[in-house]
Chain A
Amino acid sequence: MSTGTAPQGRTYVLGQFPTGAALVKACRQVREKGFTDVDTHSPYPLHGGDEALGLKRSVVPKVALAGALTGMFGGMAMMVWMNGINWPMNVGGRPPISPLSYIPITFETTVLLTSLSIFFGLLIMMRLPQPYHAVFELEAFRSAVTDGFWLSVAQAPGSDGKEAVRELESVGATQVSVVKESLE
């Protein structure tokens, strides 16, 4: 491809690996060689249980907590205001503001907002929806799901990616391809 003046997309070098373990190993080696923008693509999470033990703090629980608190106080406040302040309603002699009978709905709004905040928080953190990604251009990337262990190395726009190709081949990729990001 020519290096004209028109803006160019980044170059992605994609390498396929036979197993998840090989992919993780290759990823580590490639990073050590100084390639910084490296990403793995795998059909299931590759890292073991160590993260699950809380070595690294995730922001997800905080997002969930924020949603929970909003739902809890929002739900309770809604009911107190509607049934107790804006239009005090006497049903069967129970006090207009009777928090005890508001608990079930407060619980439901808490759970609803927790779930919504986790879901949308997840999308935002994953930067989804992501309508386009260069890796999807590669036909081989759509190979059978079962051997879909890929390493992608992003290179600056205009790069031919030769260096990365050599590197991926040297760490044991079974198949290496170069994809250019389309900027249309």
Chain B
Amino acid sequence: MSGYRPDGLEDAFTSDDPERAGATARGAATDVDAVPAGAETTPDVQVPRIGVVGWLRWVWRQLSSMRVALMLLMLLAVAAVPGTIFPQNAQDPAKVAAYLADHQALGPWLQRLQLFDVYSSVWFSAIYLLLFVSLVACIVPRTRVHLTALRARPPRVPRRFDRFPAQGGLTTTATPQQVVDSAAVALRGPWRRLPRFRVDVSTEGGEATVAAERGYLRETGNLVFHLSLVGLLIAIATGQMLHYRGQALVVQGHGFANAVVDYDTFERGTAFNPSSLVPFSLRLDAFSARFSPVSLQPRDFTADVTVTQPDGSASAQQIKVNHPLDVGGANIYLQGNGYAPDVVVRDSAGNVAFSGPVPFLPQNAVYTSLGVIKVPDVTRGDQIGFRAALLPTAQQDTDGVWQSVAPQPANPLMVLTVWTGNLGLDTGVPQNVYKLDTSHLKQVMGPDGQAVSLKVQPGETVALPNGLGTLTFKALPRYVALDLRYDPALTEVLVFALLALAGLATSLFTPRRRIWLRVRIAADGRTVVTAAALARGDDIGLQPELDRVLAVVGRDLGIAEDEIARDAAVGDDASAVRDARAAQENEHPEEHR
């Protein structure tokens, strides 16, 4: 790959001779249409066969060009948008199903285009993977070049200073050697191991010169940022492969064990190892909820649990929203809560046909909850099913309709409708526990032809119609929805993210500056110092930096402040400043990436 240099490699300033560079017309950057990087080695008329290797090389160069990276970035931004427009399987499969039902014609096409799985789709993955290939193609050669640059010395002192954007000087009776020593110290700064400027001192035709450069960290930060992004991607992928996640509903007084079978839903990565499931168990002792008296918005949810470790030691713990519990390397999150009415159903023979708490799903802010009680094991006759609504604080409005007015269980009331027939539990097809399949059920009607509606409060027992038996509302415990997640790569993800942030800030905020000094002895025997400085890009701190160095030198040598010339002679020549700046930007606009 001789003669080929990737985009953005010239992190240098400009030519060290702004005079020559100044001739470059301003705005040239927009006029000159650069030749794409890959085209540089391609002969213009006769295209010889370049073979597979040649093609690969060409593709690699295309990918490493800034233009392609720019295009991929824009594509990525656009490609991410559909995921907020269409429902996504990863977030809400129910919504996707509803969308498909509503859009019979369009839905299947969207599905074929993977618009319901945007972020795992082939096209989205292709874009970001290409972007990362492009990043590596650009960063690897730049890292090599930067490693060389790190050992480089500051460039030689330019012949003339009069066209540099920042200038200064001073006159002193001290010897040139004293001036040079003092300047070198001022430029290097207080830390020996991490000098502010890299400084070279030499003599040139009887003049002592100082050349200094700072800002090597700028490119270092840039490289760290991009390499950290690669690390971040690898860490996220690793976590995805090793992770597992389980969800469990736990009713007050009950518990669960950390085993795949104990979860209501369980999801795992491709490289998941069952041994990462530490066999602890957890019991929900109490759950408390607090709500705003004004808006009824939740204010606090706290779950008090007892965790029993594999070795048998038990400890009382607390889980709150924003405060997950760390057990066995996994985090347990409090994701939801609700009521699970504890009911006993006796069949017509007087035998207990069903007993236990039934989780209800809250529907609104006042916890009006819906649930289903299925009673398959009756002694004789048809199976029984209930559709039930729970009103935690029931109140009858003027029309006689019962509704909940607060989320706390101040006046709980359960309203049930009764169904008999076949619940369909023996078909082998898994059923939704929150839904009653009424295809083989008949609703029980009263003598008036209206559906029978039973109302029951905690502690009460009601007789079921048609002599079906009785239902007792024993108590109203709460339940919590717990989410347990294990991701061994969390630390790596955080470290790479923070490294990227640090690299980014360093590369954007580290100024890249050069300062030169010429020290000569004037006719009157005094030492005359002239200085110039150049920065990469527009840099408002350039002149202050030069002034600071000269001020320190002046203080060292006992010169009064007002004898230090500040950019006086040519400083007002704004066009020179502008030309120099324009020159350096036009020379190397493709600086960092």
A associates with B: no
Q: Which residues of B contact A (CB under 8 A)?
A: none
Q: Which residues of A contact B (CB under 8 A)?
A: none
